[in-house]
């Protein structure tokens, strides 16, 4: 996709996606500094929110923390289920672009009543209910999103958590300029029409991949952008029983496929079910593959933006107004007081 053609540029969704490389390039790691000491005073970091404000930012933070062997445990859960947890030993970060998400406000209100002293907000707006309740709040620099589907904000949230964890552990984030260039390449990559054709004809679009938020977030974006049913199949779940009910009208998009498992997926799903598998990877796989730049330790951002590209091309091929979903709302469950 690109902004030179009117079929793309007329959509706020595409314009906001294309702002992402600039947000990455200009990201200021210093914003996380004022939270680091307060977070370090606790035994763990709890990341909450709903939908896109949690899926990619929080799950990538967990993955990165484990890969780096960071000492502080990082966990996540939706805000309603988190009401059932004992969080007194955790620094709590609640993400809500609107700052008005009902589930988030309810959890933060409950924690305040318990005299919890390390509750922080992550929003895209000033003067919000979350900002009023939290001990401190960071407001994203990406600006307001007009499209219903969150995109650029998701990436900045991910960068913020990454910077925060590195600050806590004395590690600096490197390579953001290169990452910006690679995400721009992923966003503007030409998607073969044969791939788009397979996806647009599919009755269900499955996403498989690591539990780092990429494939799961793209499954959500599939609903919002292509209006097709989707599901996220974590890890190798796709060959552990669900193949019994899959059929050849469906497609699986595999993010960064495990090399050791490709033959098994081919045997069970391509040969067994008769369905198509499309890979998004830095190298050719045994399946039709969308080759993307290698983002190194920031690879997930490149994978995510490449997935956006695929979904936009599919949505346009389907003749969908990308900015006008019928039922989905910018704020899924909004707090109105009381």
Listed residues 177, 209, 244: the one ending a domain: 177
pLDDT at 325: 75
pTM for this one? 0.96
In-domain check, residue 237: yes
Residues 170, 196 within the same domain: no
| Neighbouring C-beta atoms of residue 119, cutoff 10 Å | 24
Between CA 110 and CA 133 the distance in angstroms is: 11
**Closest residue by Cα to residue 213 from 76, 86, 89:** 76
**Closest residue by Cα to residue 173 from 183, 185, 164:** 164
Does the pLDDT of residue 329 top 60, yes or no? Answer: no
Q: pLDDT of 95-109, one tens digit each?
A: 999 999 999 999 999
In-domain check, residue 330: no
Residues 150, 196 within the same domain: no
In-domain check, residue 297: no
Residues 127, 276 within the same domain: no
Does the pLDDT of residue 334 top 70, yes or no? Answer: no
Residues 160, 277 within the same domain: no
Listed residues 270, 291, 312: the one ending a domain: 291
pLDDT at 144: 87
Residues 144, 285 within the same domain: no
Token pair belonging to 6: 């009117």
**Closest residue by Cα to residue 74 from 110, 103, 47:** 47
In-domain check, residue 29: yes
Residues 95, 234 within the same domain: no
Q: What percent of the chain has pLDDT over 70?
A: 97
Domain at 223, CATH number? 3.40.50.10490
For residue 75, the SS3 value is strand
Between CA 139 and CA 30 the distance in angstroms is: 13
Residues 117, 205 within the same domain: no
In-domain check, residue 184: no
Q: pLDDT of 240-256, one tens digit each?
A: 999 999 999 999 999 99
| Sign (positive or negative) of CA dihedral 178, 181, 186, 187 | positive
Residues 43, 68 within the same domain: yes
Question: 279 is in which domain, residue-wise?
Answer: 190-291
Residues 278, 153 within the same domain: no
219: confidence class by pLDDT, cuts 50, 70, 90:
very high
| Neighbouring C-beta atoms of residue 326, cutoff 10 Å | 6
Does the pLDDT of residue 159 top 80, yes or no? Answer: yes
CB 214 within 8 A of CB 221: no
Does the pLDDT of residue 215 top 80, yes or no? Answer: yes
Residues 13, 88 within the same domain: yes
Residues 106, 245 within the same domain: no
332: confidence class by pLDDT, cuts 50, 70, 90:
low
In-domain check, residue 91: yes
Q: pLDDT of 179-204, one tens digit each?
A: 999 999 999 999 999 999 999 999 99
Does the pLDDT of residue 302 top 70, yes or no? Answer: yes
Q: For residue 86, what are the contacts with CB-CB under 8 A and spacing of at least 6?
A: none
In-domain check, residue 304: no
The count of structural domains within the chain is 2
Residues 46, 142 within the same domain: yes
């Amino acid at each position: 996709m690109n902004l030179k053609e009117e079929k793309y540029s007329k959509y706020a969704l595409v314009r906001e996606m294309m702002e992402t490389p600039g947000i990455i390039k200009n990201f200021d790691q210093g914003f996380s500094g004022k939270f680091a000491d307060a977070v370090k005073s606790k035994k763990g970091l709890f990341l909450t929110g709903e939908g896109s404000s949690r899926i990619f930012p929080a799950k990538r933070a967990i993955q990165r923390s484990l890969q780096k062997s960071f000492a502080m445990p990082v966990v996540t859960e939706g805000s309603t289920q988190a009401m059932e947890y004992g969080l007194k030993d955790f620094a709590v970060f609640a993400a809500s672009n609107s700052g008005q998400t009902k589930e988030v406000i309810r959890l933060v209100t409950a924690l305040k009543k318990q005299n919890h002293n390390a509750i922080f907000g992550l929003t895209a707006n000033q003067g919000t209910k979350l900002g009023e309740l939290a001990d401190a709040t960071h407001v994203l620099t990406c600006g307001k999103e007009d499209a219903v589907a969150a995109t650029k904000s998701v990436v900045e949230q991910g960068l913020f958590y990454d910077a925060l964890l590195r600050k806590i552990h004395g590690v600096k984030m490197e390579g953001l300029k290169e990452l910006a260039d690679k995400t721009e390449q992923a966003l503007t990559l030409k998607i073969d029409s044969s791939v788009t054709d397979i996806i647009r004809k599919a009755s269900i679009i499955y996403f498989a991949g690591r539990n780092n938020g990429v494939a799961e977030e793209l499954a959500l974006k599939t609903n919002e952008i292509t209006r097709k049913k989707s599901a996220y199949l974590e890890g190798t779940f796709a060959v552990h029983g669900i193949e019994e009910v899959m059929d050849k009208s469906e497609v699986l998009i595999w993010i960064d496929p495990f090399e050791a498992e490709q033959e098994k997926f081919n045997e069970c799903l391509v040969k067994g079910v008769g369905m198509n598998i499309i890979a998004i990877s830095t190298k050719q796989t045994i399946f039709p593959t969308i080759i993307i730049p290698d983002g190194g330790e920031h690879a997930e951002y490149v994978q995510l933006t490449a997935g956006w590209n695929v979904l936009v091309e599919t949505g346009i091929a389907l003749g969908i107004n990308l900015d006008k979903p019928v039922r989905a709302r910018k704020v899924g469950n909004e707090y109105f007081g009381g």
